[in-house]
Chain A
Amino acid sequence: MRVLLFPTCLVDHIKPKIGFDTVKLLEHFGVEVEVPEKPSCCGQIAFNVGYWKDAKEMARAWLDVYDVPGFDYIVAPSGSCVHMIRENYEILFKDEPKTLERVHRIKSKLYEIVEFLTKVLKVKEIPSTFSGKVTYHASCHYLRGLGVKREPKEFLKNLKNADFIPMDLEETCCGFGGLFSIKFPDLSYNMTKRKAESIKNTHADFVTSSDLSCLMNIGGVLSRLGLKIKPVHIVEILAEGLEDEKD
């Protein structure tokens, strides 16, 4: 099985480790992974604030990179980028039948990593360990957009040595919202602060999620508040204890 990895623009440029951990997970389950040479972004940053022309440009470029033969699936370590492509490209290209065809073709191949592991590879459990207390933030577009709720938490609970502690505001938005956080910083901060308090109340050492964007946002506030809780992407946790196939 061959997978073309969509690292997402944030992981690519801000936290490459998440990309490598995604590869590690996939390779562990026998998947052959390839990474495109060109950079790409799903375009949601522009789409979500109304700049649909720029969004289209990025989306088109994304399709050029990923709508290529030779791969069974496209996998990304982000619920919200997958949501953008799966749900919003049809809105964006509604007047372009040719592009829509490409969107439909690619939609059926595209998965978020945990979604891919559970739905396509039918993985029930990650045979790995992780030591530490972990709490989980359900990213909005992952939870409500893609409808993935249970699976990531099951994975976390079943990790050897991991101590999973749910937070009370698990499903409440962290206040990022893309450019929302730059347009309305005080509002965004107050939302994130509420989230941070909910995280703090769990006494966890780590907060994890399917989306780096949320984690950057939450982590940014945790850091400013001087809290020592570490934001880590879910693939970082899942891959941590796995034997590295390449070693």
Chain B
Amino acid sequence: MKKINFYENARKILSNPTVVEAVQKATMHALEKRRQTIARIPDFEELRDKARTAKEEILRDFDGYLEKFKENARKNGFVIHEAGDAREAREIILQIFKERNVKLAVSSKSMTQEEIEINPFLEAHGIKKYETDLGEFIIQIAHQKPSHITAPAIHLTRREIARLFNEKLGMEYTEEPEELTKFARNYLRKKYFEADAGMSGANFLIADTGSFVVVENEGNARMSTTLPPLHVAVTGIEKLIPSIKDLPVFLKILAPSSTGQHQTVYTNIFSQASKDHEVHIVLIENGRRRMLNDPVLREALMCIRCGGCSNVCPIFQLVGGHAYGSVYSGPIGIIWTYAIFGPDVAKELPFASTLCGACYEICPVRINIPRILLELRRRVIERTGGKLEEKALVGLWSQLMTKPVLNKLGFHLASKIQGIFKKDDKLTHLPFVFSNWTKWKDIEPFPGKSFRELWKERKNS
């Protein structure tokens, strides 16, 4: 993967007001619904604590719980596969499909499948896979990538979707959401019955029962995974929770934090395979062990992918997920992208935040995202040395603040020469890196004397 140019991407998106508006509307709507919903869950904060504790327990003995899950899952008749990276995962899935002569597959929404880029790979091997989640389906026919971890088509307006359905699927042009949904549903319904295999992700892997959970709103996951004779679930190993007793806690926090619903419409718990319905679970490591062994990054493994931090992020609200150039977008996506795709690809991303902390505040499992971003920034600067002008600026400031003589001299000088950048008593066109500030913002001129100097004068007068 090439280096992700976050700012370049963001600027392109900013020049497209339709996207900005669509993303803003959708995220603000989800936040408002969240607010209303949690107002009616009196123990929401305690539920968050409980969920956090359960995830901490997983991290305390990760391998123990993983082993337990695998063992119990096998008892349920599930076939367990383990993939170290994306390539291995793709090969495993292809192998399963080839052995069973799969030509057509249907799938419910799964970010892990996006992560391993399974669709183009299967396509290249002559296997067609249909996305059955409405948002993912739209993205698929538009040949785009998801722009939000739970709402993949968040950047598209109804009009754009109407045009897509008209052009790509030959539907008569309409912007009626119900009509569009009905059309997609009928279009996909046939595929469920024709498909040789169904795929899904997993929201939770339950260690003490060996079962796994997929939540959804459209019933498409249920049909994708049960109608075809084969079900392949693709999931990251971090989705573990200790016990089925913990599940209600997670279900109670997931939907409110995500879409603002009390509950998702469907909660599917898979707990048994049978002779005529095979279930395979592909457990994906792909960088997660590195995270586990990293004292700062490991906290990010607790993420339950609710997307709340994206919704609340003022940067995400403006530019949406595509700016992040990765399947995982938004604040937590920065961390995941860094961890999975490496520091060279993601070196700009940790800076794509004002550290405002809204993500930490909303995160149902209380992941301290700003704290992790700070650490990633430190690492990037340590690796790369930082940009020259920025380094110079920080260095200069440090000198001015730690050397009283330089301080006095520097600010007196600044107040003397600032006149040439002044217009109407404001600094409006500063040079060097500061021009990035005055591109959009005026600045008050420096006073001739510092507060400390004036204070001293006042005391001595």
Contacts and interface: CB of A to CB of B under 8 A. Distances in A.
B402 A184 contact: no
Interface string A28-59: 00000001111111010111111110100110
Interface residues of A, number: 66
A49 B394 contact: yes
B317 to A, nearest CB: 8
Q: Which size class do B's interface residues fall under?
A: 35 or more
B437 interface: yes
A58 B355 contact: no
A68 interface: no
Interface in A1-45: 7, 9, 11-16, 18-20, 35-41, 43, 45
Given A144-B358, A186-B11, A187-B10, A39 B377 contact: no
Given A36-B452, A47-B374, A190-B318, A144 B357 contact: yes
Contact of B314 (A48, A145, A173, A184): A173
Contacts of B386: 49-51
A182 to B, nearest CB: 5
B356 interface: yes
Contacts of B213: none
B450 interface: yes
Contacts of A190: 14, 20, 318
Nearest to B10: A187
Contact of A50 (B378, B441, B452, B456): B378
A14 to B, nearest CB: 6
B347 to A, nearest CB: 10
Given A91-B374, A216-B444, A35 B357 contact: no
Contact of B354 (A11, A13, A176): A176
- The winner among A20, A91, A183 for most chain B CB atoms within 10 A is A183
Interface string B422-455: 0000100000011011011111101101111011
Given A39-B404, A49-B377, A187 B7 contact: yes
Contacts of B402: 57-58, 61
A209 interface: no
B137 interface: no
Interface stretch (A107-115, A158-166, A200-208, A217-225): A217-225
Contacts of A175: 314, 354
A94 B144 CA distance: 45
A183 B390 contact: yes
B401 A177 contact: no
Contact of B394 (A45, A194, A219): A45
A129 interface: no
A120 interface: no
Contacts of A132: none
Nearest to B410: A13
B380 interface: yes
Given A16-B451, A46-B397, A220 B456 contact: no
Nearest to A18: B451
Contacts, number: 196
Contact of A187 (B319, B356, B380, B401): B319
B439 A7 contact: no
Nearest to B352: A184
A16 B446 CA distance: 10
B451 A11 contact: yes
Contacts of B391: 51
Contacts of A9: 401
Contacts of B350: 50
Nearest to A172: B314
B351 interface: yes
A177 B356 contact: yes
Interface string B3-46: 00001001100100000100000000000000000000000000
B353 interface: yes
A16 B390 contact: no
A224 to B, nearest CB: 5
B440 A50 contact: no
A57 B441 contact: no
Given A39-B404, A189-B440, A192-B441, A7 B451 contact: yes
Contact of A51 (B394, B400, B401, B439): B394
A185 B455 contact: no
A181 interface: yes
B121 interface: no
Given A39-B400, A49-B381, A185 B437 contact: yes
Interface of A: 7, 9, 11-16, 18-20, 35-41, 43, 45-52, 54, 57-58, 61, 88, 91, 140-141, 144-145, 171-173, 175-192, 194, 216-217, 219-221, 223-224
Given A16-B450, A182-B390, 18 more contacts: A13-B411, A16-B447, A19-B451, A48-B374, A50-B379, A51-B394, A52-B381, A58-B402, A88-B374, A144-B361, A171-B358, A179-B390, A181-B437, A185-B436, A187-B11, A187-B14, A191-B314, A191-B354
